Amino acid sequence: GENVEQHPSTLSVQEGDSAVIKCTYSDSASNYFPWYKQELGKRPQLIIDIRSNVGEKKDQRIAVTLNKTAKHFSLHITETQPEDSAVYFCAASTSGGSNYKLTFGKGTLLTVNP
Amino acid sequence: ETGVTQTPRHLVMGMTNKKSLKCEQHLGHNAMYWYKQSAKKPLELMFVYNFKEQTENNSVPSRFSPECPNSSHLFLHLHTLQPEDSALYLCASSPLGGPSYNEQFFGPGTRLTVL
């Protein structure tokens, strides 16, 4: 089955700096890569995703890049703000017929220091 | 109410109790999921239902029994649980077709403590 590795497990940056979180996956058939943000005590929320037909996607201060050859994808947050502090999860999806399932990385605790 | 809702939000039970978790989605999705989130572990997929049919059981012990009466409701029946089953149980739903297929939306979770 799919295996997703996520690094780093913790990341501390100063407000205004950029943050980068990286994930690798094992199943070359994976074709959907979402990122979730989970604030303390809250539900995971989808913040951005990318499908295998594009290499990069951007939404304001957040961007995701995908390298299918190397089987890795990354989350980039620019101009970080204290409210970006949360745990971020990457995931990879394999789809077989009508069955979709996400395999998650272990998460990255991002702390943005004011 | 919109989105994905879960009840109860917190549950404390003994190992001999029987309880049920409920999930409801108001997004018109056709797939629903149960996940377990433990401290320092990734989100673990437990069950997947597509159009009320179970399509995935990720080697979950039989003390967890899911039920999906329709595409909007999902239950997780619990009996004779162990203390290591204490975790946050998250429900999610997603569409099965269209441009947003497999975009999973999570409920707030049920924090379960097994004594």
**Model pLDDT, residue A66:** 96
**Model pLDDT, residue B53:** 85
Q: How far is A59 from chain B (nearest CA, A)?
A: 16
Residue B18 has pLDDT above 60, yes or no: yes
A14 DSSP 8-state letter: E
Could you give the angle at the alpha carbon of A54 between the alpha carbons of A49 and A55, nearest 5°?
90
For the segment B32-70, what is each residue's pLDDT rounded down to a tens digit? 999 999 987 778 999 999 888 888 888 899 999 999 999
Residue A98 has pLDDT above 80, yes or no: no
**Model pLDDT, residue A2:** 84
* Best mutation target, B48, B104, B105, B111, to test chain A (most A CBs within 10 A): B104
- The C-alpha atoms of residue A97 and residue A92 are separated, in whole angstroms, by 16
**Model pLDDT, residue B102:** 75
| C-alpha distances out from residue B89 to A32, B32, B49, B70, Å | 24, 13, 16, 20
Of the partner residues B43, B94, B105, the one whose CB lies closest to the CB of residue A89:
B43
**Model pLDDT, residue A99:** 56
Which value, to the nearest 10 degrees, does the dihedral of the CA atoms of residues B89, B90, B91, B97 take?
A: -140
Average pLDDT over residues B11-19: 92
Average pLDDT over residues A4-29: 96
Average pLDDT over residues B73-89: 95
Chain B residues whose beta carbon lies within 8 Å of the beta carbon of residue A86: none
Q: How many helices (H) and strands (E) does chain A have?
A: 0, 11
Residue A95 has pLDDT above 80, yes or no: no
Interchain CB contact of A44 with B (< 8 Å) = yes
Residue A107 has pLDDT above 80, yes or no: yes
- Dig out the tokens for A112 from the structure: 């943005």
Cβ pairs A/B, distance under 8 A: 54
Structural contact between residues B33 and B21, judged by C-beta atoms closer than 8 angstroms: no
B48:A99 CB<8 A = yes
Structural contact between residues B25 and B3, judged by C-beta atoms closer than 8 angstroms: yes
B108:A43 CB<8 A = yes
**Model pLDDT, residue B103:** 86
Interchain CB contact of A45 with B (< 8 Å) = yes
Mean pLDDT of chain A: 92
**Model pLDDT, residue B57:** 83
- The C-alpha atoms of residue A50 and residue A66 are separated, in whole angstroms, by 8
Average pLDDT over residues B84-88: 95
Q: Provide the percentage of residues in chain A whose pLDDT is more than 70.
A: 95
Centroid of chain to Cα A54: 15
Interchain CB contact of B103 with A (< 8 Å) = yes
Q: Helix/strand/coil (H, E, C) string of chain B?
A: CCCEEEECCEEEECCCCEEEEEEEECCCCCEEEEEEECCCCCCEEEEEEECCEEEEECCCCCCEEEEEEECCEEEEEEECCCHHHCEEEEEEEECCCCCCCCCCEECCCEEEEEC
Interchain CB contact of B38 with A (< 8 Å) = no
Average pLDDT over residues B96-111: 85
| C-alpha distances out from residue A94 to A27, A102, A105, A107, B114, Å | 8, 7, 14, 19, 33
Mean pLDDT of chain B: 91
